[in-house]
Amino acid sequence: MGHIAVIGAGVIGLTIAYELAEAGHDVTVLAERDHTGAVSSVAAAIWFPHAVDTAPRVLESAELTRQRLTALAQADPRTGVRLRTGTVLTRHAGPDLSWTAAVPGHRPATAAELPPGADGVTCELPVVVTGPYLTWLRTALDAKGVRFRAAALTSPADVDPGFDAIVVAAGLRSGALLGGDDQVFPIRGQIVRLANPGLTRWLLDDDNPGGLTYVVPRDDDVVCGGTGDTGAWDETADPATEAAILRRAIALVPALAGAPVVSRAVGLRPARTAVRLEAISGYAVPVICCYGHGGAGFTLSWGEASAVRALVDAL
């Protein structure tokens, strides 16, 4: 058993803490904000490798995560994970469908499932209702004896002595913590949540002519998005952008017309030119990096946590 510090309390950091505690390690999570203040709480959180590189290792991580989320959905609805059917639209020749290798039962969308001018793939995917899920995960960590400590760190060297290893899983802040990784950048995402009029089917339309569009029904609300503003740091919701999102969403799903707004939010996806998952030297104790997951934190969480666990166990 090792004493491990995990920097970061988003879905990646919390899932890593879970896996390490499950393996018998003594784990402390260090973060400036808890999970309610992380970008993970803003995510539509449907399983899909969005805004992340699709290297073979990343897709393997996504497949393992889909399996774990599916098992959670089937075992306990209190986890907040739901299995829902929907369609990923494609609007140009040669779309990247590498993700379908991890999704059994996918099929070409029928004409009735498609808007004019689009093709697509229909399948069943896990949808995570972020509030209940992150609360469930935090409760499970408490039960495993994981400790949480508020900490404003500038480097792994700031972590108190006594740990055998440190995991950097702080999303967008990870690059700065490691001395300025210039391959890290934000992708701004704005969403609006509408009261759910009874929808269960989701729709993803990355190539919508008007901009990135998705409609993801959860339990009582529907997450409508979005934006993919690379390099933008503004976390203020823009009314004009929201109006455009709603126009696109309602055009695809007319049943949303007239649904009242429940809430709105902006989050900064922690992107990188490639996911960074490796052990690095140069510190008093071993440091393992796990960040750069873009819009796929929930999609990769369990796979990445399993890989970090293997790296820690090999130290």
pLDDT given for residue 185 in this prediction: 97
pLDDT digits 0-9 by tens, 100-118: 999 999 999 999 999 999 9
pLDDT given for residue 190 in this prediction: 98
Residue 84 belongs to what domain range? 3-313
pLDDT given for residue 173 in this prediction: 96
pLDDT given for residue 34 in this prediction: 86
pLDDT digits 0-9 by tens, 185-207: 999 999 999 999 999 999 999 99
Using 70 as the pLDDT threshold, list the residues of the chain that sit under it: none
Provide, rounded to the nearest whole percent, the portion of the chain with pLDDT above 90. 97
Where does residue 76 rank: exposed (0-12), middle (13-18), buried (19+ CB within 10 A)?
exposed
Residue 41 and residue 53 in contact, taking contact as beta carbons nearer than 8 Å: no
* CATH code where residue 228 lies: 3.30.9.10
Sign of CA dihedral 65, 71, 77, 79: negative
* DSSP assignment of 229-275: EET----SPPHHHHHHHHHHHHHH-GGGTTPPEEEEEEEEEEEESS-
pLDDT given for residue 147 in this prediction: 98
* DSSP assignment of 86-114: EEEEE-SSS---GGGGG-TT-EEPPGGG-
pLDDT given for residue 88 in this prediction: 98
Query: What is the count of structural domains for the chain?
Result: 1
pLDDT digits 0-9 by tens, 213-263: 999 999 999 999 999 999 999 999 999 999 999 999 999 999 999 999 999
pLDDT given for residue 279 in this prediction: 97
Residue 167 and residue 290 in contact, taking contact as beta carbons nearer than 8 Å: yes
pLDDT given for residue 194 in this prediction: 98
**Residue 302: left if φ>0, alpha if ψ -120 to 50, beta else—which one?**
alpha
CA-based nearest residue to 266, from 296, 239, 293: 239
Residue 300 and residue 58 in contact, taking contact as beta carbons nearer than 8 Å: yes
pLDDT given for residue 35 in this prediction: 87
